[in-house]
Structure 1
């Protein structure tokens, strides 16, 4: 038997090769920071791997979106997850095709069978931004099931103005005991047909051109997001007429390289016959337990740490949050904890509160206030958070007004 031996010689890496490797590593880390693990044809969406909440318990699954190597004109965006406490699969089957490259205009189609937090109000354009860890999810227990068919159009008016328009029909079923009384009828489940328009304007972002097109080189402030939603009553897929407007403004006052003050203003307004599922909570993040230690959990990023889950709902509200990031303490080159001073305020109200049966909650008409601080990165990405509830909704027991939690901050 004859064997053939071939000897390979390895060419030393040039300076350009080293630059390419460094660029590839940066792109890989950037993808992780955006919430995706890139593979050859599919970018695996990390947000579906492991989550936990009070209704599903452990929620795990797999999802992803095809990348440009698969196709530059078409993409598939789907997921499947399983909740170990409710013993139920949830999934999304979605696809998109691009109709204009210069304006990055895409038409998206999707069929979704999943859960949504009651009272949550998300902006369509936010799905393009990723949070590695979402602490509030751990303690949420009020969800509604929805089966949604949706068509949407993404369009970039300019490098600093993104938009998305969505038309959807949904079958809604609360997972808790709830009845919506309106027009002399009682609804335990209902259908919603709605249209949404979302605009994300970042007027002071600076951009750079690279091989993959235009990318954000530096984030500027302020940033503005506006969303308008309209539901349509009809004989087949719509039980109610209502209208919603949501607005958010984020600004940073830069004091120096490592110290700044962040201000977030958010408002929401719903008018018409709006069920609780589509109204507003105020981002609570406190569980109903007797002692401070029993309530010890993970602090959110922009949530009210002393406000108990399901304590308040509104059909109109306004929130102001102030966060002052003090220059990190240089204990050593690697150990630099940072103190953040926080103040949050919310006000709101609700008309026709008697429509919402079997669920007890209050309104924010007296104004809600809390103040506190975080010490971040005490041990690796972990830190501590303390908050105190005062003002119109101060509770009789001192301990019930205090929230102590740990923080988790990851940056790429």
Structure 2
């Protein structure tokens, strides 16, 4: 596991040094300076821009327990190519499972003012079992995805989809999607559906996602939405419906997912953040589409062996695949203290953290060949992070207590390093 870490940090650090050197180069003409600042901003958003095509840095180097090193290329066309048509895609290869994964997609803009797009895609890839993606989150980029390093429970999926994106108002965004998927778990698993058991299955699903930011300051202009100021709280809601017997679909179920984020204060002074996430699934729902409550602890004997990277919103003491639920809620509280003003450039920051999760499973016996626990007693952990100690790295300490406290004291402790970096 050491080699992927080293390779990743080398790439990130080299990129940052190049970006910083361009940022500090003050003798160039003003126009060149503007172009270089725009270039640095693109890098911070995860893109390496060219004239007509922007390379997507998310696909360069990743690591997980199933694929080991995962590397490839991806990107999308930019506005210089077309303002009304876009193409994006990627191809990656996993060195442990010896398999290529890929996606190709294209879209047309129907309205510039409301940023209305219709998109088509074909994807053959992996997805973490028990994870939920909100449509309105769109594309997210992190230099380093901490949880990904330790995930081992994936399912293969081949998915064809059509999606519609629309900005209803300046504060309300909607996205809908209809998809047909072929699901194949990479682990031993089957679902007891009546008198038959399914270890591979088809799904036909429709989704509707809404993102409401009532306290954002934004306006719809002739060229689209212009964000002026971020406000809180923010609300995300998503409804998913799987249709049995539609295009060979094996399951009929529904899911309702909700998230709200509230912040008060200033990150450069004192900042408090509360995040509430909830979900409920009804009907015959396979494990692949249930909830895992964001665990981030690997099953090793000692604290040092479990030393890895803390996630941004994950339960650091909860072991991977320890709990699954068909209804759950998580509540996370973070308080960022004022950064320590040691010098102009060196300002570590202490963050106090408490997380709580509760959930349950109505028919666990339907999930064959796997074992997991219930969260109905409520799961609690608390701890702290000291971020930006050196080159964006920091340390975190978290302790598990309450109803799911373990007999061996060391099994309740998670000691990890953190990574926080922005351009």
Shorter-chain TM-score tier: over 0.9
Distance 1:333 1:161, change over 3 A: same
Q: By how many angstroms is 1:99 displaced?
A: 0.9
Distance 1:51 1:379 in 2: 22
Aligned length: 397
Report if the CA contact (8 A) 1:347-1:366 is conserved: yes
Map residues 11-30 of structure 1 onto 2, 5 A cutoff. Answer: 20-30=31-41
Q: How far apart are the structure 1 equivalents of 2:392 and 2:283?
A: 45
Q: Distance in 2 between matches of 1:18 and 1:235?
A: 61
* 290, 300, 324: which one aligns with 1:313: 324
Aligned to 2:302: 291
Q: Secondary structure at the match of 1:128?
A: coil
Match of 1:45 among 36, 48, 56: 56
State the 1:26 CA deviation.
3.4
Structure 1 partner of 2:340: 329
| 2:165 aligned counterpart, secondary structure | strand
Partner of 2:416: 405
Q: How far 1:236 sits from its partner (Å)?
A: 3.8
Deviation at 1:183, TM superposition (A): 1.5
Change (3 A) 1:132 1:163: farther
Deviation at 1:22, TM superposition (A): 4.2
**Partner residue of 2:383?**
372
Structure 1 spans left out of the alignment, 5+ residues: 1-16
| Cα displacement (A) at 1:128 | 3.3
Does residue 197 of the first structure (1) align with residue 208 of the second (2)?
yes
Identify if the C-alpha distance between structure 1 residues 159 and 150 changes in structure 2 by more than 3 Å, giving closer, same or farther.
Answer: same
Matched, 1:217 2:233: no
Equivalent residue, structure 2, for 1:137: 148
Cα distance in 2 between the residues matched to 1:217 and 1:29? 21
Residue correspondence of structure 1 range 386-401 to structure 2 within 5 A: 386-401=397-412
RMSD: 1.8
CA distance in 1, matches of 2:134, 2:91: 22
* SS in structure 1 at match of 2:304: coil
CA distance in 1, matches of 2:299, 2:60: 28
Q: Does 1:121 align with 2:132?
A: yes
Q: Give the drift of 1:28.
A: 2.3
CA contact (8 A) 2:204 2:247 kept: no
Q: Using the alignment, how far apart are the partners of 1:144 and 1:93 within structure 2?
A: 19
For 1:201 and 1:29, how far apart are their aligned partners in 2?
A: 30
Q: What corresponds to 1:33 in structure 2? A: 44
Deviation string, structure 1 residues 261-305 (Cα, Å, up to 9, x no partner): 000000000000000000000000000000000000000000000
Unaligned runs of 5+ in 2: 1-27
SS in 2 for 1:40: coil
**Which residue of the partner structure matches residue 360 of structure 1?**
371
**2:95, 2:175 → 1: CA distance?**
34
8 Å CA contact 1:169, 1:237 repeated in 2: no
- Alignment partners' CA distance in 2, 1:128 and 1:115: 17
- Are 1:260 and 2:271 counterparts? yes
SS in 2 for 1:32: helix
Shift of 1:25: 3.3
Which residue among 337, 340, 345 is the counterpart of 2:351?
340
Per-residue deviation, 1:215: 3.5
Deviation of residue 160 (structure 1)? 2.2
Q: CA deviation at 1:162?
A: 1.5
Residue equivalent to 1:226: 237
How far residue 193 of structure 1 moved from its aligned partner, in angstroms, is 0.3
Q: Please give the residue correspondences for 1:76-225 in structure 2 after superposition, counting only pairs within 5 Å.
A: 76-207=87-218, 214-225=225-236
Rg larger in structure: 1
Q: 1:50-103: CA deviations, max 9, x gaps?
A: 100000000000011100000011100110000000000000011101111111
Aligned mates of 1:236, 1:108 — CA distance in 2: 20
**Mapped partners of 2:45, 2:67: distance in 1:** 25
For 1:228 and 1:73, the matched residues in 2 are separated by 29
Return the TM-score normalized by structure 1: 0.93
The Cα of 1:21 is off from its aligned counterpart by: 4.0
Q: Deviations over 1:378-406 (max 9, x none)?
A: 11200000000000100000000000000
Q: Could you tell me the TM-score, scaled by structure 2's length? A: 0.91
Distance in structure 2 (CA, Å) of the matches to 1:110 and 1:103: 22
Q: Secondary structure at the match of 1:31?
A: helix
Instruction: Tell whether the 8 Å contact from 2:352 to 2:385 is kept in structure 1 after alignment.
Output: yes
- The residue aligned with 1:8 is none
Q: What is the CA deviation profile of residues 170-205 of structure 1, one whole-angstrom value per residue up to 9, with x for unaligned ones?
A: 000000000100111100100000000111112222
Aligned to 2:24: none
Question: What is the CA-CA distance between 1:39 and the residue it aligns to?
Answer: 1.1
Over residues 324-345 of structure 1, what are the superposed CA-to-partner deviations in whole Å (9 max), with x where a residue is unaligned?
0000001111111000000000
- From 301, 304, 311, the counterpart of 1:300: 311
